[in-house]
Every structure is written in C-alpha cells, then in structure tokens.
C-alpha cells in the first residue's frame, strides 16, 4: 500500500517559493506569474497507516511551519511535479526513510519524494513550458506523474552475461569510426584501431566491458592524454619564450632526461631539478599518489611530533556545467577523498571558480547551456551544502569572471589535511592481500564520468549526458572521515586509493605495484545491487562505486554484508588481523607507468 | 574608484562566501572577512592543524593566484605571475618564505591538432617552470583539464597556482587597516624588461616584508591583485570602516598598476625606499586631491554589484525588538556531585561538530562520551539505542552537537535527532536525567533545533509540539550563513551561563541555514519574564537588532538562545564550542562564554 502526503510551508515561512517566484518574474521575465506554490510530496510504502500518520506529524512536516494534507487544493493553477531521475540519490527521501526507521526500530520503508509546483496567473502555454524548462534540469530530474503509483518497488533485471562484440575484429576504418560514435566512446578512431589490433592478436572479440574499461582508462581524465602527448617540434615568435624553452632543455640535459618532451615533463621538471639540488627537503615521497604530501613538525601540547601535511586541488568543470549542484558537491567530495585516502583528516577547503558574468539576462544564454546565474548560484549551493555537511572550514571562496568561461565553467576545490606520521604506513601490496571497497551506496548514475569530461561538448550535451553526473552523500563521507581519523583503523592500511572518475577499473590497477597483475583480481562475492543494469557498470563506474564520487570504494546494504572483498592484489588487512597479517615487503617488481596515473592528477615524484 | 568597486573581478564576494561554513573545526585563524565590520577579504586561508584532542599553535596557509586577462594576453606572464601572486599572499599574511610548496590547476581549450592551441598550455607551463626555478620552489602536484571548449567558444588559458606553507598562529598578520592616521606604503621589487619581477629583488623583498611583519612594524599587509593598490586600499579600509587620504603626488597609474609581487603595508613609522600612498583617516571617506568619495556609498557600490546573484544585505524587516535583561540572584548546584562530570555526545549521521564539542568539554574539565549512532541496519539502530540508553544512565549531561543530521532532510532540520529521542527508552532516560538526577542538557545549532522541536526548550520535557510552540526555521536570507556575530547575555539564570554577567557581549561563530527563532509575542514575553531568553544578537553598540548584518537569520526579538524554565536545558545557535587560542584574529573580541566551565562547576 502506498500512502501519499503533501506538505507545504505556511505563508509566513514560504521564502523558498517566494524566492523562486522572484527569480521567474525578474530573472526569467515571466511577468504574468502572479503566484507560485511549492509542495513536497511524499509517497511511502512498507509502512503501517499508524506509523505513516505519526511520521506526517514528526518527519514529513512540522506543525509550526508546515501544513500537511492528503488532498491539497490545487484549483486554478497550472500544476506539475518534479522528481529525480531514477538512480539519482535523493537525500530527502533517504533521510525520511531513515527517520521513520529510527522511530519504528524496524525495517526501513520505501519513500519517494517529489516537488509539486502550482503556478497562478494568466500564463500562456509557452510561459508554462519555459518555467518547466527552467525548473527541471533533465540531467538530474524529470516531470513526475500526478497519479499515485500502485507500488514504489522497481524491478531490475539482473544481468547474467556480458555481451561479446562479435565482428569487432572485422570492422574497417569506417566501421570503427561508427563503432566509437555508436557506443559514445571518448577514444578516437586511432585508439579503437589499436584495440582492434590487440584483440586480433589475442584471436578473439572483446566484450563490451573490456572496451568500456579501456575507454575509461585511456580517457584524458584518467590518463593525461594531452599532457603526455609527445611534442616533436616547436616554433617560437617570441624570444622570451624561446629562452625559457632553452633553459628547460638545459635542465633536461643536466638531469639526463631522455623521455620525450611533453607538457607533463614541463610541469614536473622544476621539482626534479630542485630535488636534485637538495631543495624541497620536506617533500614526502611514496608510491602512493593520493595528494601532495609534505612533512612537518607539529607542536602538540608543547611536544614536537612528526606530521604529514596533505593538500590537493580538484576540478569538476564538466559535471558542474551540466548539473551544477551535484557537480560542485562532488567536486569538493572528490577533493576530500584524495588526502583522506592518504589517511589524513581534511579540515580546510578553498573554492575558486570561473564563470561568465552572472548578472547578464537569461536571454543571452548560449543555446544548450544553463544560464550563468543559475549555474553560479546552484553550484555554490551544491559545494557549500556538501562542504558544510561534511564539516570542513571553507576559508576562501572566490569567483573569477571572464566571458570565456561561458564555454565551460571552472569549478576548483582545494583542500588541506594533516595526519600524524605514525598513522601512515606505506607498504607494497602483495599477492594474497585483501582489497576492501568502502563507501556508501547511492544511485546507478555517474557512469562514464571520466570519459564524459574528456569529450568536447555540443549543444545536445545536457540531454544526452544525464548518466554522467551524480549526487554526493556527504553524511556517508563524513563517516569515512571519522574512520580514517581513528589511528587503529589507519594503521591497518598498507595502501589506499580513492575512486576517481575511472571507477574500479582504474582504482584497483593503481593500488597494485604491478599493473599487469592488477587485472587478475576477482570478485569474491558477486552480489551486486539490483540497480546495476549491466556488468559494465561494475567496472566503469566513477568513484564510490555504487554511484558517487565520494567514497573510497563501497559497501552495499542489500545483502546485509558490510563490504566486498576481492582476492588478488592488495589493499588493507581487514578487521581480522590474524588472517590478513601483513607480510614483509617484497622487492620492487616494476615501477608504475604513467598510464596508471591517479585520475588526472599528476604529481612530481617517483615515476621514471 | 567607484568603477573599481563595481568591477566584477574586484567587487565583494561576501554573499557568495558566507554560505560556506568557515569556522567548523575550531581552527580558523583568520575569518574570510576581517575587521569589526567583517568586510576586508583575506588573501590566504589560515587554519590550525587539526588535532583531535591536543592543542597547537601550528597552522597551515593556502593562497591562490591567477589573472585571466593577463594569462589571455600572455600565458607565460600569466602563469609566472600566478605563482608569484600565490606566494606573495602567503608572505603578506605573515608566513616566512621557506618550505613553500605549490600545486597547479591547468584548464585550457581543447588543443585538437592546432599547434597554436597547443602553444597556450606550452607557454603557460614554461612560465610556471621559470617561476619555480627562479623562486626555488616546486609544484608537487597538479591537475590538468584540457577540455575547455564549447563549439567555437574557449575558456581563457588558465593556470591557477595554489601555494601552501605552515607557520605559527602567533606570527599571522591580518590585512585590514587597524587604525586611523597610519601610513600606507607600497614596496615593489625590481621588474625586468619583460615586466616580471627580478628574482633576487623579489626574494629580498619577501624577507624584508616578513621582517617588517614579525617585528611588529607592519600592522596590516596586502599584496595588490586585480585593481592594483587602489583596490587594496579600499578593501583594507572597509573592514574597520576607516577612510583614506591618498598622497596627492602619487600618480594614478601607480595606484592602478597590476604587477605581481608588490606589498602594501600599514605602518606608523616611515619605511625606507617605500612609496607612501597616503594615510588612514577616522572619517570613512576616500580622498584624493579635491575629490572625495563617501565611504558608505563606495561600500554599497562594492557590495551591490553581485547582490542580485549572491545576496548578503537583504532589507531589514522591521519588527518589535527589545534588549532583555534578567539577572539571577543565585545559582543552584546539582545535588549529585561529580568531579569530572560525564557528557554524553551523540553522533548522528550528518553530525559534524562532535570533535569540537568533545574538545571544549574536555578542556573545561568534563569527560566527553562520544557515541556514534549506527544506522546501517535495523539491528544496528536497536543496538545503538541500547548503548545510548545505558550511557545516559551514567551521564550527568547530554550535549547534542551541531551538524546536518540526515542532511537537514526531509525539508527541515533536526528531524533525525528528534525521531531518535522520541523513542520510548531514550525519552524515559532523558526524563530521568532531568527530573530525578539534576542533569544538564545543551544543544548547539542542529542540537538546538532538535531541542526546540522536542519541546525540551522552552518547556523542559519531550512532548508533541503543535502550532503554538516556538521553532527554528529557515533564515530570512534563505541560505546558509557563516560569520561572526555578537551575542549579549540576556539572562544568566541557566547553570550554563552562571559565570557570565547580564550585558556581557560575546563574539561567536555562527553557521546555519535554519536559525530563525519564531514564537508568538505572548510566549516571548513570558519567556523573557522568566529569564528563559538567554542570549540575543546585538549590534556594535550592544543593542538587540533585526538588522541582517548582526542578526543573521531574522530571529524574532533577536533571540539566539533560550533555556528550559529552570535553565538546565540550554539551546543556542552560535557555536560556542568553536573556541581556542589564536583564532579569529581578524575579528577581535571575547569569544569565550565559559558555558562548558560553568556546566562542569555546577556538578562540583
């Protein structure tokens, strides 16, 4: 049985509806809009009528400020309802379900929420359509039915086999180009031709999972395609630049660099040079590339202790451009995860963004883009919502205005963190070590985040890129912050990596000392959430696996089991130290190549 | 100057910034905006290294540098200057130029196969390379994003430099002008023929500025950025509402020039080799020759530019307001004594102030008992309820910390916590603590929201609230607010406030989206008469006010905190637990309301 309730703020407390009304009349220019109401609609299932009624008074509404009714009077207005796309994390519904569970101390009910908008005034069809377009961002939300559903349960087919791409090896050049387009891959024809050659040598056709995995791994987001491109010739019209370039070449000679000239080399060579000359002596070097790490001394209650200071900057330009709230929220979420996986406590954040003038009228918006004003304010709401919830002090927030950022917004989050050095153990993973994927579960969106952000975009991006963004779940990441502040937990970890946009396919590989063997890990428990439509999603999912960029892996609630483990290469001895006791360090097998880089992050140490 | 003030890249970002919590962690050495008016933006973020239990004076600094116009003109110059700017901001904030590390953010148009487009990141990286070599510091990390293209439109070539270092909090200098009749001087390095600072001269200048700061000769320091020295003067002056008289002989170009690596210092003694720009004045006006600009008017231009997008100065809704006063004659003690009272601090999903709260309790001599509520499974909830109920029997106090329990959802704060406390066992335990064991309870921010929605304030018991009950709802500004506010003790009846005198004004960081106290007039009167209105938001003169600059959420009668009838349950919005030595240096005032100390003493 599904119960439904509508909750609306009393007139004295309806600032949200009022703010939206002002935005629509003043900013969008719909002058004939005379009134606007916003109602929250909740559907609940798996709950008794008594419990539901109690929840109406204590969870869904608050009698001081809200009115709650099963039959709202919507006469005389244009009505539409908006809900999140299936798979988007809905914190409102999730939290309501948890509150009810707290009261009942029983099973968690199914809750779905929607917002109902009621528009008043002499509005034309066109104006109503315009308001709908303004309110509903198709990347994350859709119009909801006004009918009450029979059930809230959704059946998902459980994938049983992985599709093999029969005939892939026979495709000609044109066919390969069509293949890239057909599957929406980020790689180009040369890349796919390279894959074709590889599988021809193997004597088999690839599976779709393999192609998606390679696409993720090779995306610019994960592999610095641009930064690692070999530069074989340069011409200068400027003497200053030429001199600087020559000084760069001198430094290369001095350091005996024989690797090709590329942007990455230019970005990192100063550090190599300074280190060779005995500078940067506080740099903490390790095989882990979670965040910039320097050694420091902290005087704690008058006693000097060795500590590590970690910092990291992260961008989420593409996701923020198409879904500013979730994109900006997961920007800070992702930035936190890097030093967090370095076992440090993240306490400070900075936000620097780039936008076009947000005070220009909405009519000047480039077709296919969100208006700048909506972008800047929604992104600020998203980032602050996440940062405020997770509890780190945001010390500086600035925004740079330049017309060029209308092409794509810039959303940078930078974080700072610290940890006592004794909490951070750095060892090489070995065969037999246990890998734990840890984090929260959210929706099934977010797939293709890495490849999406590496593509140049066109006017259709907002409609077709829906699956590439996701919502973060800050309270879950906060739990990870607590866990990693616990020295006992930290000291169990040999090596740790966060999920970037490349998901498991990149993260596990990066954990390994030997990227080749990394691919031999196996799922020990092949249970997966029903919301995963195809095995592809198990590997190419960005970040905290079931869907958010906010955790170090994941765990899933469905089976009542807290975590997944996988046999194969390495991460962290779990809670049973007798079984997973660490072993003495093995001799180095092979240094990690650039292709195992951590996300798009580059760092200036020890990869030669 | 007016044109400068309304330049998009100079104007105030306060409305944007203040929706971000800037004080959680009780480690914020500099607020984002300094001065008694909180109007001077800081140039480097300074936070204490976060220690869970111990205390330190060590802090980290982070600053950024980048100018889109310069970097579009010349990516080489832009990147070089970005590095210099980020480092100069650290130096201006009091950091010595040693152990500075960098990390870069590159963001460029998609290069495709066009060599000219490849030239943009190439030139920028060369500039950054030279800057690192010249300064002897390195970028030990970075992120590259090379997809800043939409059809025919490109982002400007972007290389943002982030500089990081550490310093002692006592050596930090804030950048707002401190007083009138002080001199402002400009120190510049030598520039080479390419317009970039000559490295030896820049490094020497860094040392010199550090000396001036650490010897106490410089009272404020700022490295001019967009808008040059003129914009710097304006921003430095706004914080404390001081005016400025420009020296007539200083050419306008010198004031507006946008060169990296210069420093503007507020001094009382002349500085050799420095250009004197003018002096600060008591009168809030900006004077140059015959021209005079009214300070408040200029400030409005500066703040109004983005007000429509990021509001911060919403009009005051006039309403009745009164400064309450209730002095308690005596402060009863608990009948059951405890040398080290135990304070139960529950952690709900979304709670984030438990570390700061536990530290404040411990520092005051109490024993924090932090209990994490496990909501993974129904069995986890039952087990947590059980543990909480047991811990409650052994506790003298319950402290509900701030945060966003359940993400402040569904559509309203504190619901998660209230759902938990409405559980029969917990409810009985609380009743026992309050009615039979003389216990204390307090909730700050999210904790206050929970207390009021349970009825514990102002009624002193858990009950089903109805329409007539007071509550806390969305801030009038309809967004999160984070800044320092001034609160006045309106009643010291509560054991939590027994060490304060009525009329004492305490600065306190606030950070909340739902802090607007509402109740009907008659109830407020009744609460005031009974001494249950504990604290009120006040202006610089100590008067309760509904002005959004002081009353951040539009609370009726400027009410910040209330208590139960006998004062043992106390709820307040301001984060009184976020205190510590050397914090909030650019917003001076007393931050300690001694509430934790008072609560501990109540049991001794």
The total of structural domains in chain B comes to 3
* Measured distance CA(B358)–CA(B371) in Å, rounded: 11
Question: Do B563 and B438 fall into the same domain?
Answer: yes
Same domain, B180 and B166: no
Cβ contacts of B304 within 8 Å, gap of 6 or more:
B6, B313
pLDDT digits (tens, 9 = 90+) for A374-429: 999 999 999 999 999 999 999 999 999 999 999 999 999 999 999 999 999 988 88
CATH code, domain carrying B149: 3.30.1330.10
Q: B567: alpha, beta or left, given left = phi > 0 and alpha = psi -120 to 50? A: left
Residue B580 is assigned to a structural domain of this protein? yes
Q: Looking at chain A, which residue has its C-alpha nearest residue B140? A: A604
Distance from CA of B488 to the nearest CA of A (A): 25
Q: Which of B111, B139, B170 is the last residue of a domain?
A: B170
Q: Kindly tell me the burial class for residue A303, based on how many C-beta atoms sit within 10 Å of its own C-beta (0-12, 13-18, 19 or more).
A: exposed
A607 vs A513: CA distance, rounded Å: 12
Number of domains in chain A: 2
Same domain, B116 and B163: yes
Cis upstream peptide for B458 (omega within 30°): yes
pLDDT band at A231 (very low <50, low <70, confident <90, very high): confident
CB of B483 closer than 8 Å to CB of B575 = no
Closest residue of chain B to A273, computed from CA coordinates: B133
What is the model's pLDDT at position A456?
Answer: 52
Interface test with B, best of A25, A41, A318, A348 (most B CBs within 10 A): A348
Residue B248 CA: distances (Å) to CA of B223, B252, B289: 22, 9, 6
Residue B582 lies in a domain: yes
Evaluate whether residue A124 is within a structural domain: yes
For residue B380, how far is the Cα from the chain centroid? 36
Regarding whether B221 and B100 lie in a shared domain, the answer is no
**CB-based contact A478:B405 (threshold 8 Å):** no
Express each pLDDT in A250-280 by its tens digit.
999 999 999 889 999 999 999 999 999 999 9
Residue B178 · residue B219 · CB < 8 Å: yes
Residue A217 contacts residue A454 (beta carbons within 8 Å): no
- CB-side neighbour CA atoms (13 Å) of B173: 31
Q: Which of B30, B41, B50 to mutate to test the interface with A (most CBs of A within 10 A)?
A: B50
* Nearest-by-CA chain B residue for A274: B136
Question: Is A224 touching B (CB cutoff 8 A)?
Answer: yes
| Phi, psi of B302, deg, nearest 5 | -60, -40
Which domain-ending residue is among A144, A177, A207? A144
Q: What is the pLDDT of residues B4-53, one digit of tens each?
A: 999 999 999 999 999 999 999 999 999 999 999 999 999 999 999 999 99
Distance from CA of B252 to the nearest CA of A (A): 25
What beta strand segments (E) does B395-497 contain? Answer: 397-400, 440-444, 471-473, 481-489
Q: How confident is the model at residue A23 (pLDDT cuts 50, 70, 90)?
A: confident
For residue B534, what are the contacts with CB-CB under 8 A and spacing of at least 6?
B489, B490, B491, B493, B494, B496, B497, B560, B561, B562, B563, B567, B570, B572
Say if residue A210's pLDDT is above 80.
yes
Considering only CA atoms, which of B156, B109, B307, B286 is closest in space to residue A356?
B156
- pLDDT-based confidence at residue A549 (cuts at 50, 70, 90): very low
**Helix H or strand E encompassing A14:** none
The verdict on A345 touching B (C-beta cutoff 8 Å) is yes
Residues in chain A within 8 Å Cβ distance of B101: 280, 282-283, 292, 294, 311
Q: Note the pLDDT tens digit of each residue in B541-585.
A: 999 999 999 999 999 999 999 999 999 999 999 999 999 999 999
B111 and A95: CB-CB below 8 Å? no
Q: What is the predicted ipTM?
A: 0.96
Answer whether residue B328 is part of any domain. Answer: no
Alpha-carbon distance B256 to B243, whole Å?
A: 18
Indicate whether B276 and B142 sit together in one domain.
no
SS3 A593: coil
Whole-number pLDDT of residue A33:
94
Name which of B20, B126, B382 is nearest A394 (Cβ-Cβ): B20
Q: In this structure, is residue A322 part of a structural domain?
A: yes
Question: Which chain A residues contact residue B409 at CB under 8 A?
Answer: 91-92, 94-96
Q: Chain B contacts of A280, Cβ < 8 Å?
A: 101, 137-138, 140
Cβ distance A428 to A513 under 8 Å? Answer: yes
| Residues B49-64, mean pLDDT to the nearest whole number | 97
Of B313, B331, B355, the one marking the end of a domain is B313
* Stated pTM of the model: 0.88
**Per-residue pLDDT at A26:** 84
Q: Which domain holds residue A372?
A: 292-596
Nearest to B140 among A263, A347, A604 (CB): A604
Q: Going along A124-254, which residue ranges are E strands?
A: 141-144
The residue among A115, A144, A173 that closes a domain is: A144
Average pLDDT over residues A181-192: 86
Listed in order, strand segments (DSSP E) in B401-532 are 440-444, 471-473, 481-489, 505-512, 516-518
Taking an 8 Å cut-off on Cβ atoms, the answer to whether A602 and B166 are in contact is no
Give the nearest partner residue to B104 out of A267, A317, A392, using CB atoms. A267
Residue B318 within a domain: no
Same domain, B181 and B151: no
Quote the CA–CA distance of A384 and B32 in Å, as a whole number: 15
Q: Is the pLDDT at A557 greater than 50, yes or no? A: no
3-state class of A564 per DSSP?
Answer: strand
- Rounded to 5 degrees, what angle do the CA atoms A146, A152, A157 make? 120
User: B555: closest CA among B468, B453, B442, B472?
Assistant: B472
When computed from its CA atoms, the radius of gyration of chain A, rounded to whole angstroms, is 26
Average pLDDT over residues B186-207: 96
Cα dihedral A166, A169, A173, A177, rounded to 10, equals 40
Q: Which residue of B has its CA nearest to A95?
A: B406
List the one residue out of B559, B385, B400 whose CA is nearest residue B470. Answer: B559
| CA distances in angstroms from A39 to A19, A78, A193, A235, B523, listed in the order given | 14, 13, 54, 62, 29
Q: Is residue A149 part of a domain?
A: no
**Quick one: which of B522, B505, B570, B517 has its CA closest to B546?**
B517
B295 and B425 inside one domain? no
Per-residue burial over B540-563, b = 16 or more CB atoms within 10 Å of its CB, e = otherwise: eeebbbbbbbbbbbbbbbbbbbbb
pLDDT of amino acid A102:
86
Which residues contact residue B98 at a Cβ distance below 8 angstroms, ignoring those fewer than 6 apart? B165
Which tokens hold the place of A428? 């090489």
Rounded CA-CA distance B470/A582 in Å is: 57
- Judging contacts by C-beta atoms under 8 Å, the chain A residues touching residue B469 are 63-64
Using alpha carbons, list the distances in angstroms from residue A413 to A214, A356, A386, A586, B513: 28, 18, 12, 37, 22
Rounded-to-integer distance, Cα A376 and Cα A355, Å: 7
Distance (Å) from the C-alpha of residue B604 to the closest C-alpha of chain A?
Answer: 26
Distance from CA of B483 to the nearest CA of A (A): 11
For A67, the enclosing helix (H) or strand (E) is strand A66-69
Both B535 and B400 in one domain: the answer is yes
Question: Average model confidence (pLDDT) for chain B?
Answer: 96
Least confident of A250-254, A527-531, B465-469: A527-531
- The whole domain housing B375 covers 342-602
Write out chain A residues lying below 8 Å of B377, CB-based.
557, 560
The answer to whether residues B487 and B352 belong to one domain is yes
Span B344-388, pLDDT tens digits? 999 998 999 999 999 999 999 999 999 999 988 888 988 999 999
**B302 and B443 share one domain:** no
Q: What number of C-beta contacts closer than 8 Å exist between A and B?
A: 450
């Amino acid at each position: 049985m599904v119960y439904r309730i509508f909750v609306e703020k009393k007139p004295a407390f309806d600032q949200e509806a009022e703010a939206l009304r002002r935005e629509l009349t003043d900013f969008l220019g719909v002058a004939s809009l005379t009134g606007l109401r916003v109602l929250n609609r909740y559907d609940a299932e798996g709950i008794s009528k008594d419990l539901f009624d109690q929840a109406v008074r204590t969870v869904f509404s608050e009698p001081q400020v809200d009115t709650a009714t099963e039959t709202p009077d919507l006469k005389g207005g244009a009505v539409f309802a908006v809900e999140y796309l299936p798979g988007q994390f809905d914190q409102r519904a999730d939290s309501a379900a948890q509150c009810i569970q707290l009261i009942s101390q029983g099973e968690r009910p199914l809750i779905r929420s929607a917002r109902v908008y009621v528009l008043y005034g002499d509005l034309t069809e066109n104006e109503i359509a315009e308001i709908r377009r303004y309110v509903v961002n198709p990347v994350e939300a859709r119009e909801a039915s006004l009918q009450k559903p029979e059930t809230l349960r959704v059946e998902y087919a459980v994938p049983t086999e992985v599709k093999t791409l029969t005939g892939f090896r026979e495709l000609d050049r044109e066919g390969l180009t069509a293949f890239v387009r057909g599957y929406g891959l980020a790689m180009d024809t040369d890349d796919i031709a390279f894959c074709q050659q590889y599988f021809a040598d193997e004597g088999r056709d690839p599976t779709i999972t393999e192609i998606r995995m390679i696409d993720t791994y090779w995306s610019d987001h994960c592999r610095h395609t641009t930064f690692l491109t070999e530069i074989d010739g340069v011409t200068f019209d400027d003497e200053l630049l030429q001199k600087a370039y020559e000084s760069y070449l001198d430094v290369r000679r001095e350091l005996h660099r024989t690797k090709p000239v590329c942007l990455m080399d230019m970005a990192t060579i100063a550090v190599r040079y300074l280190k060779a000359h005995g500078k940067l002596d506080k740099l903490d070097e390790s095989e882990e590339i979670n965040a910039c790490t320097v050694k420091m001394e902290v005087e704690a209650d008058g006693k000097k202790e060795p500590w590590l200071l970690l910092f990291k900057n992260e961008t989420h330009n593409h996701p923020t451009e198409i879904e500013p709230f979730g994109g900006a929220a997961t920007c800070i979420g992702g930035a936190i995860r890097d030093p967090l996986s370095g076992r440090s406590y993240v306490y400070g954040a900075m936000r620097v963004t780039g936008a076009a003038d947000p005070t220009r009228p909405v009519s000047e918006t480039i077709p296919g883009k969100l208006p700048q004003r909506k972008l800047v304010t929604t992104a600020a709401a998203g980032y602050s919502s996440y940062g405020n919830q997770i509890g780190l002090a945001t010390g500086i927030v600035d925004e740079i205005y330049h017309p060029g950022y209308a092409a794509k917004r810039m959303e940078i989050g930078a974080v700072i963190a610290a940890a006592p050095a004794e909490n951070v153990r750095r060892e090489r993973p070995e065969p037999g070590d246990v890998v734990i994927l840890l984090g929260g579960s959210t929706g099934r969106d977010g797939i293709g985040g890495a490849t999406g952000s590496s593509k140049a975009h066109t006017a259709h991006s907002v409609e077709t890129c829906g699956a590439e963004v996701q919502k973060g779940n800050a309270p879950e990441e906060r739990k990870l912050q607590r866990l990693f502040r616990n020295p006992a937990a930290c000291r169990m970890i040999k090596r740790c990596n966060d999920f970037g946009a490349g998901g498991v396919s990149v993260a596990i590989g990066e954990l390994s000392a030997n990227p080749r063997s990394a691919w031999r890990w196996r799922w020990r428990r092949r249970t997966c959430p029903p919301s995963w439509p195809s095995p592809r999603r198990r590997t190419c999912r960005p970040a905290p696996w079931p869907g958010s960029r906010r955790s170090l892996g994941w765990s899933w609630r469905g089976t009542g089991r807290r975590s997944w483990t996988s046999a194969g290469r390495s991460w962290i001895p779990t809670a049973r130290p007798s079984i997973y006791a660490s072993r003495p360090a093995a001799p180095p097998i092979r240094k990690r190549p650039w292709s195992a880089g951590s996300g798009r992050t580059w760092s200036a140490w020890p990869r030669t | 100057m007016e044109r400068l003030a309304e330049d998009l890249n100079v104007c105030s970002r306060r409305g944007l910034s203040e929706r971000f919590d800037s004080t959680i962690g009780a480690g914020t050495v500099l607020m984002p905006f300094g001065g008694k008016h909180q109007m001077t933006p800081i140039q480097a973020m300074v936070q204490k290294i976060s220690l869970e239990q111990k205390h330190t004076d060590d802090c980290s600094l982070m600053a950024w540098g980048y100018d889109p116009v310069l970097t579009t003109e010349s990516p080489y110059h832009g990147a070089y200057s970005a590095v210099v700017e980020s480092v100069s901001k650290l130096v201006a904030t009091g950091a010595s130029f040693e152990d500075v590390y960098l990390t870069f953010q590159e963001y460029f148009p998609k290069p495709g196969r066009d060599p000219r487009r490849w030239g943009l990141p190439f030139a920028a990286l060369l500039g950054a390379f030279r800057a690192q070599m010249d300064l002897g510091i390195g970028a030990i990390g970075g992120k590259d994003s090379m997809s800043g293209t939409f059809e025919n439109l490109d982002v400007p070539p972007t290389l943002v430099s982030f500089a990081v270092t550490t310093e002692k909090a006592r050596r930090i200098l804030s950048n707002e002008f401190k007083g009138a009749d002080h001199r402002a001087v400009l120190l510049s390095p030598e520039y080479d023929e390419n317009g970039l600072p000559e490295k030896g001269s820049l490094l020497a200048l860094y040392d010199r500025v550090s000396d001036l700061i650490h010897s106490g000769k410089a009272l404020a320091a700022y490295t001019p950025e967009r808008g040059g020295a003129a914009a710097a003067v304006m921003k430095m002056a706004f914080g404390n509402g001081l005016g400025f008289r420009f020296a007539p002989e200083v050419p306008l170009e010198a004031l507006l020039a946008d060169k990296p690596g210069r420093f503007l210092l507020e001094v009382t003694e002349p500085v050799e080799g420095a250009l004197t720009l003018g002096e600060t004045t008591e009168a809030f006006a900006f004077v140059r020759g015959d021209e005079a600009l009214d300070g408040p008017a200029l400030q409005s231009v500066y703040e109004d530019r983005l007000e429509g997008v990021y509001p911060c100065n919403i009009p005051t809704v006039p309403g009745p307001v009164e400064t309450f006063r209730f002095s308690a004659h005596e402060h009863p003690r608990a009948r059951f004594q405890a040398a080290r009272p135990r304070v139960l601090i529950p952690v709900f999903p979304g709670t984030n102030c438990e570390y700061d709260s536990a530290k404040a309790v411990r520092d005051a001599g109490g024993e924090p008992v932090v209990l994490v509520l496990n909501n993974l499974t129904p069995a986890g909830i039952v087990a947590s309820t059980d543990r909480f109920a047991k811990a409650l029997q052994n506790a003298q106090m319950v402290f509900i910390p701030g945060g966003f329990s359940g993400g402040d959802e569904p559509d309203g704060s504190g619901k998660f916590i209230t759902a938990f406390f409405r559980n029969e066992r917990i409810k009985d335990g609380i009743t026992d603590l309050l009615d039979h064991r003389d216990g204390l309870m307090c909730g700050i921010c999210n904790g206050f929201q929970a207390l009021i929605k349970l009825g514990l304030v102002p009624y002193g018991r858990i009950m089903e609230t109805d329409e007539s009950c007071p509550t806390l709802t969305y801030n009038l500004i309809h967004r999160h607010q984070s800044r320092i506010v001034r609160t006045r003790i309106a009643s010291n009846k509560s054991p939590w406030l027994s060490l304060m005198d009525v009329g004492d004004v305490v600065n306190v960081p606030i950070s909340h989206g739902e802090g607007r106290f509402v109740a009907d007039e008659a109830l407020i009167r009744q609460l005031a008469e009974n001494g249950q209105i504990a604290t009120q938001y006040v202006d610089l003169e100590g008067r309760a006010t509904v002005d959004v600059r002081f009353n951040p959420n539009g609370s009726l009668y400027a009410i910040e905190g209330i208590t139960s009838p006998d004062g043992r349950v106390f709820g307040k919005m301001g984060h009184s637990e976020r205190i510590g030595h050397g914090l909030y240096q650019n917003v001076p005032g007393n931050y300690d309301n001694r509430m934790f100390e008072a609560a501990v003493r109540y049991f001794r």
